[in-house]
Structure 1
Amino acid sequence: MITLLVISIHFLSGAYHATPWGKHVNEGIPEWPPSSWRLLRSIIATWKNIKPEFEEEHIVPILQKLASELPTYHLPDASVSHTRHYMPTNNKPTLVLNTFIVVGKNPIHIIWDDITLNQQETDILKSILANMHYFGRAESWCKAELSANTIKSNCSPHADQNFPPNTDLVQVLTSNKNIEFVDIRTSTENEKDALNAITATTKILQENKYKDPPGGRWVWYTRPKNCFEGSMTPRTQTSWLNGITIVRYAVVGSLRPPIRDTLRVGDLARSACMSKYGQNNNGEISSTFSGKDGEGKPLKNLKNCKNHKHAFYLPTYETQNDEIDHLTIIALKEFNKSELDVLLKLNKLYSYNMPVVNLVFQGCGNTNTFSDIPILKKSRMWISATPLILSRHVKYRGSGANKHIVDGIEEQIRREIQNRYCSNYKIKNIKIDNDDLRMANTNTKTLNFFRWRRHGSIGDGRAYKVKIEFADAVQGPIMLGYASHFGLGMFIPEEE
C-alpha cells in the first residue's frame, strides 16, 4: 500500500513541449510545471487507447484519488528554447513558434504526500504509466514510472499570504476534488452545465463555450525564482566535461557557405572564440584558441609535436553538395572550463563580406566519440579534401644540368608529418598533383579555394591535391601545410 506517491517523467529528447490552457502556441509561453490536469488526461488517454482491458471501475478510483489532493513538484534545472517554422495554409504560409522547456536527462517528479493506493491500483497505475509514451505535445516523448524514492519538492501550492523568498508565482490548472470522470460527448444537454468533463477535447469545450475546462480549477503555485535562467550553464564546470578535445557543430540555414570558403569560415571560428574568451576573461588570451602565449606572441617550438596542441577549426562538407555543413573544433589537449563555456555557446560567425554562418551545437567528446566522421577515421590511404598549400616556397639550387629542387613538396610533407606526429606515422608513398583538379567528393577545383587569410602569414599560394599512403592505418585528423588550422590541407580516408 502506497501513502507517498511519486510519478517520475523522463523526457527522452530532453525537452517538454506543452502550452498552458488558454494560451496560443505563438505566445511562446511554455507550461511549467506540467499541470496535474494534463497528467490526468494523459492517464485516461493511455488507458482508453493502449490499455482498454482495465475496467472503468478499477481506473476511476485511481483518478479520483489523484484528483483529491494537490500535488507538489520537484522541477529539474531547465531553460526555455524554441523553433520557428511555417505551416502551409490556403492563403499563405503561417509562422508557428514551438516553445519548449529543455530539461536534459533530469526527470520531473510529481508528488502526492498522502494518497493510499492498494496493490491492485498500484499495479494498474504502473502499467498505464509504462505505456504513456508522450506527455504534452506528441513530440514530448517520455518514460513515466512510479518512483520509490523520497523526493523533496521545490514547487508547491501557495496556500497563504506570505510570499516565500526566491520564488515566483505561476497558475497551474488542476482538477476539482469531487471531479466526475464522465465524457461530455455522451452526456445529455441538461448535464453539461454541471459536468466535470476531464475527457472532453478542446474543440468540444470551445463549441460549448467553456472558458475553462469544467471540473478544472486554477491554483497558484510557487516555483524557484528565475528557474529558466543560468541553470544549464554551470554544467561546463562539472566532471562530465573533463577530457573534452572535440566540439562539433552543424552549419544550418538556407544559405550555407560554399566549400571554397573553408579557410574563411575556419578563420572566423577562431576569431569568434578568441573574442568571446577575451570578453569573458578580462581580455586574457587563450593559447589553445589562438596558438599564442599570454603576450600575443606565437607559441614557440611548434615544430615539436608535443607543443603543437592548439585548436584546429575545421569546416567540412559531408553531404557531398559543395557546401560546408559541419564545423569541428579540435585540440590535442583538453579544453578548460573557460574555453568550453565559449564553445558550448558558439552559434553564429559574423563577417563583413559574407553571410552569417549559423551553427547548431551537436556534441562534444574526443576522437573515440566521433570516430565515425570522415576526418577522424582510421585508414592507410588519405586523400586531399581541401588543397594543400605549402608553408614554405620550393627552392631550387644550381643551374643548367645541375639545377635541382631543395625543400620540395614531398620533402615538406614528410618533414611536417615527422614533426607533427612524432614519427608515429610511417609513410609508404606520396602522390602529388599540381594540376587544377577537383577535390575529393566535390566539383570544386583546387584553385577555386580561398587560399589567403585576412591577417597573418601567407603561404606558397600554389594548391596541390595529394594522396598519402601510410604503412599502417593511422588515426585522423591529418592536417598539413599552410592554414591547416583553418581547414586547408585537410585529408579524408580513401577507400582501398
Structure 2
Amino acid sequence: MVTIAFRFPAGRYHATPWGRHVNEAEVEWPPSPWRILRALVATWHRKADTERHPESVLTALVERLAGTLPRYRLPRGVRAHSRHYMPQGRFKGGREDTSLIFDAFLRLEPEAELIAHWSDVTLEPAERALLDDLLRDLGFLGRAESWVEARRLEGWEGELDCCPAELSIDPETGEALDPVRLMAPAPPEDYPPWRAAVIDAHGLDAKKLKKPQREILATLPERFLDALRLETSELQRAGWSQPPGARPVLYQRPSDAFTQRGGRVARRPRRRAHATTARLALAGKPLPRLEDAVRIGEITRLAAIKKAEQANGGHVPAVLSGHGLPAGNRHGHAFYLPEDADGDGKIDHILVYAPDGLSAEALRALDRITRLWERDGGEWQVLFEGAGGAADWPESPYLGRARTWSSVTPYLHPWYAKKRFGVAEQIARECRERGWPEPEVRIEQARWEGPDGRPRRPVHFHRFRSKPGLRQPDTRGQFVRLTFPEPVEGPVALGFGCHFGLGLFCPTHD
C-alpha cells in the first residue's frame, strides 16, 4: 500500500476544480487524484535527478498509482475567500473599470495532515525511492501559493473518511453525506484504445487537418504519461470537457468537511444534516438595499429550488420549498432572511434558517448558488459561507438571545384585523404557535435609520410578494418592539412574508 501525508504550512490550500470558473469561488477538496499525479510529474521535470530516476521509473510509478483510486482522510478546514477589484485597462465614465475577483481557499491548521491512501498499490524499491524524492521536493499543490510539505508513511492504519462512491459506505453512519466530483486518471491500459477511437471518430488520421483538428490531435499524445504533462490552457483551447486520460469520479466526503468558526479551526458534530442555519455572502456593486429584503428573499428561494432540482435529479427538499409539509407544519421550513451585517443599509448576507433542520440535499443546493439576479438588471455573486447551528453565527444581526426585539423590516399582520384581534393579539397568537411566551407589544412610527441618518418608515420598504393572487391582509405594515417575559432565541421573524425578509427583528440589549 502507498500512503502520502500532505501538510500546508501556510494554512491555506488554493485549487479550482476542473470545469469550474475561478470566480465561482469553489475549492477542490480533497485534491483530485489527477492533480496529485500531475504534481508528481511536474516535480520530476523541474527537480528530479534523471540519471538516478530515469523516465521509465516515473512511468511505472505513475501507472501504478493511476491504476486504482485513492481514499482520503480529510482534516477539517474553513472555506474562506478574499475579494479584489482588478483593473481591466479600460475606462468608463472617466474612471478605470474594474472587475470583482473572488480568491477562494481552504484555511487549515498548519500542522493538520491530509492523508491520501492507495491500499492496493505495491511499489518496487526504485519506485519508492523516486516517490520519496518527489514528495520531498514538492513545493506546492494546486496554485503556487498552496505551499505543501509531503511525505510517504510506512504502515499507516488510520481511518479514512472520503472514499469513491462505488465503495461500500453505510450512509447511516454519517461518514458520507456530501458527494463531490473529482477528476481521476483512467486506467492506463484503457488509454491507447480510447485514443484510437477518438482519432477515428474525428478523422484525425487524415493527411490534411483543419486547425481545430490539429489542436485536438496535439492534445492526444501516444503515451499515458504524456497526457499528464499537457497544460490546462492547451486542453481548454482544444475544447476538451475533461482531460484526455482522465475521468470524473464521485467521492463521498464527510458533511462537516468545511467548518465555519472564526479563529482556530474547531470540530463540529459529524452529522451536519442536523444543521439549522446556513449563511450566504453577497458581492456586487451596488448591493441591494435593505428596503428590498422581501424581493431578495424570494429570488434566493427560487435559486435554491433551481439548484436542488439540478443536484437531486428534479427532487426539491420540502425544507427549501415549503411544499409538501405535514399539516400544521407552517414554520419548520426555510426562512430566507436578508442581512445588513455591517449596518450600511445594504444587504450583504442571507441567513437561511430552518427550525426543523436543513438536510444534506438542501445544503448541497445552497452550496451551489453562485449568483442571484433580478429581471430589472440587478445581479450579485454569492458565496456559501457554511452551515451549522444558530450559535455558530454570532456576527449575524438576527441571532442571539434577548428579551427585547425591535423591528428591522416592517411587520405585516398575517390575518385580517378584527375587534380584539389587532396587531398585538396576532403577534401573541404567532408567538404561541412558535412556542414562545406572549410579549408586550409597542408600535413604533419609525425605527430603522438608513446610512443617510434619516429615519425609515414602513412605506419606504417593499411590502408585497411577487406571487400572483396571494391574499395579503395587511399592506401598510408597522414597526413594533417586542418585550418577552423571558429571553427568546433568535432569529425572530413574524407576520406576512416572514419567510422572505418581512417582519424581521433584531435583539436589543438595553
Under TM normalisation by the shorter chain, which class is it? 0.5 to 0.7
Task: Determine the structure 2 residue equivalent to 1:33.
Answer: 37
One-letter amino acid matched to 1:342: A
8 Å contact 2:319–2:333 — kept in the other structure? yes
Report the 3-state secondary structure (helix = DSSP H, G, I; strand = E; otherwise coil) of the residue aligned with 1:453.
coil
Given the alignment, which residue of 407, 413, 428 partners 1:384?
A: 407
**What CA distance in whole angstroms lies between the structure 2 residues aligned with 1:451 and 1:415?**
22
Task: Determine the structure 1 residue equivalent to 2:328.
Answer: 301
**What CA distance in whole angstroms lies between the structure 1 residues aligned with 2:323 and 2:345?**
33
- CA distances 1:338-375 after superposition (whole Å, capped 9, x unpaired): 43342222223343235134321111222243344232
One-letter amino acid matched to 1:15: H
One-letter amino acid matched to 1:417: C
Change in Cα spacing, 1:308 to 1:97, as seen in structure 2 (3 Å) is closer
CA apart distance, 1:248: 1.7
One-letter amino acid matched to 1:489: G
Q: Which moved more, 1:409-418 or 1:314-323?
A: 409-418
CA apart distance, 1:437: 3.9
Q: TM-score, normalised by structure 2?
A: 0.59
Report the 3-state secondary structure (helix = DSSP H, G, I; strand = E; otherwise coil) of the residue aligned with 2:274.
coil
CA root-mean-square deviation: 5.3
Task: Determine the structure 2 residue equivalent to 1:139.
Answer: 145
**What CA distance in whole angstroms lies between the structure 2 residues aligned with 1:161 and 1:293?**
48
Report the 3-state secondary structure (helix = DSSP H, G, I; strand = E; otherwise coil) of the residue aligned with 2:398.
helix
Task: Determine the structure 2 residue equivalent to 1:269.
Answer: 300
Superposition pairs of residues 466-485 of structure 1, within 5 angstroms: 466-485=480-499
CA apart distance, 1:323: 1.2
Report the 3-state secondary structure (helix = DSSP H, G, I; strand = E; otherwise coil) of the residue aligned with 2:358.
coil
Task: Determine the structure 1 residue equivalent to 2:176.
Answer: none
CA apart distance, 1:100: 9.6
Report the 3-state secondary structure (helix = DSSP H, G, I; strand = E; otherwise coil) of the residue aligned with 2:493.
coil
Report the 3-state secondary structure (helix = DSSP H, G, I; strand = E; otherwise coil) of the residue aligned with 1:261.
helix
Q: Which moved more, 1:277-286 or 1:345-354?
A: 277-286
Change in Cα spacing, 1:156 to 1:270, as seen in structure 2 (3 Å) is closer
**What CA distance in whole angstroms lies between the structure 2 residues aligned with 1:333 and 1:236?**
19
Given the alignment, which residue of 323, 342, 351 partners 1:328?
A: 351
Change in Cα spacing, 1:99 to 1:372, as seen in structure 2 (3 Å) is closer
Report the 3-state secondary structure (helix = DSSP H, G, I; strand = E; otherwise coil) of the residue aligned with 1:247.
strand
Report the 3-state secondary structure (helix = DSSP H, G, I; strand = E; otherwise coil) of the residue aligned with 1:364.
strand
Report the 3-state secondary structure (helix = DSSP H, G, I; strand = E; otherwise coil) of the residue aligned with 1:269.
helix
8 Å contact 1:384–1:492 — kept in the other structure? yes
Task: Determine the structure 2 residue equivalent to 1:86.
Answer: 86
Task: Determine the structure 1 residue equivalent to 2:6.
Answer: 9
CA apart distance, 1:253: 1.9
One-letter amino acid matched to 2:154: A
Change in Cα spacing, 1:18 to 1:99, as seen in structure 2 (3 Å) is farther
8 Å contact 2:2–2:117 — kept in the other structure? no
Given the alignment, which residue of 166, 171, 185 partners 2:227?
A: 171
One-letter amino acid matched to 2:14: A
8 Å contact 1:387–1:439 — kept in the other structure? no
- CA distances 1:292-311 after superposition (whole Å, capped 9, x unpaired): 337xxxx6435xxxx63121
8 Å contact 1:9–1:109 — kept in the other structure? no
**What CA distance in whole angstroms lies between the structure 1 residues aligned with 2:495 and 2:321?**
18
Superposition pairs of residues 45-444 of structure 1, within 5 angstroms: 69-70=57-58, 71-72=61-62, 73=65, 86=86, 107=115, 113-115=124-126, 134-135=140-141, 137-149=143-155, 171-172=227-228, 225-227=246-248, 231=251, 240-277=271-308, 286-293=317-324, 300-302=327-329, 308-396=331-419, 406-420=420-434, 422-423=435-436, 425=437, 427=439, 429-433=440-444, 435-439=445-449, 444=456
CA apart distance, 1:378: 1.9
Task: Determine the structure 1 residue equivalent to 2:458.
Answer: 446
CA apart distance, 1:17: 7.1
Report the 3-state secondary structure (helix = DSSP H, G, I; strand = E; otherwise coil) of the residue aligned with 1:414.
helix
CA apart distance, 1:161: 8.3
Higher Cα radius of gyration? 1
Q: Structure 1: 5+ residue runs without aligned partners?
A: 20-24, 45-59, 175-221, 397-405
Change in Cα spacing, 1:300 to 1:33, as seen in structure 2 (3 Å) is same
**What CA distance in whole angstroms lies between the structure 2 residues aligned with 1:470 and 1:133?**
58
CA apart distance, 1:170: 5.2
8 Å contact 1:16–1:103 — kept in the other structure? no
**What CA distance in whole angstroms lies between the structure 2 residues aligned with 1:18 and 1:309?**
35
**What CA distance in whole angstroms lies between the structure 2 residues aligned with 1:172 and 1:283?**
36
Report the 3-state secondary structure (helix = DSSP H, G, I; strand = E; otherwise coil) of the residue aligned with 2:448.
coil
Change in Cα spacing, 1:40 to 1:473, as seen in structure 2 (3 Å) is farther
8 Å contact 1:380–1:469 — kept in the other structure? yes
Report the 3-state secondary structure (helix = DSSP H, G, I; strand = E; otherwise coil) of the residue aligned with 1:454.
coil
- CA distances 1:433-457 after superposition (whole Å, capped 9, x unpaired): 0x24435888654321100111223
Q: How high is the sequence identity, in percent, across the aligned residues?
A: 23
CA apart distance, 1:164: 8.4
**What CA distance in whole angstroms lies between the structure 1 residues aligned with 2:336 and 2:17?**
38
One-letter amino acid matched to 1:335: L
One-letter amino acid matched to 2:347: I
One-letter amino acid matched to 1:348: R
**What CA distance in whole angstroms lies between the structure 1 residues aligned with 2:375 and 2:397?**
31
8 Å contact 1:75–1:155 — kept in the other structure? no
Change in Cα spacing, 1:493 to 1:246, as seen in structure 2 (3 Å) is same
Q: How many residues align?
A: 388
- CA distances 1:426-475 after superposition (whole Å, capped 9, x unpaired): 64x43320x24435888654321100111223141223222223333321
8 Å contact 1:9–1:143 — kept in the other structure? yes
Q: Which moved more, 1:321-330 or 1:280-289?
A: 280-289
Report the 3-state secondary structure (helix = DSSP H, G, I; strand = E; otherwise coil) of the residue aligned with 2:492.
coil
8 Å contact 1:38–1:136 — kept in the other structure? no
8 Å contact 1:438–1:446 — kept in the other structure? no
**What CA distance in whole angstroms lies between the structure 1 residues aligned with 2:424 and 2:381?**
38
**What CA distance in whole angstroms lies between the structure 2 residues aligned with 1:232 and 1:350?**
31
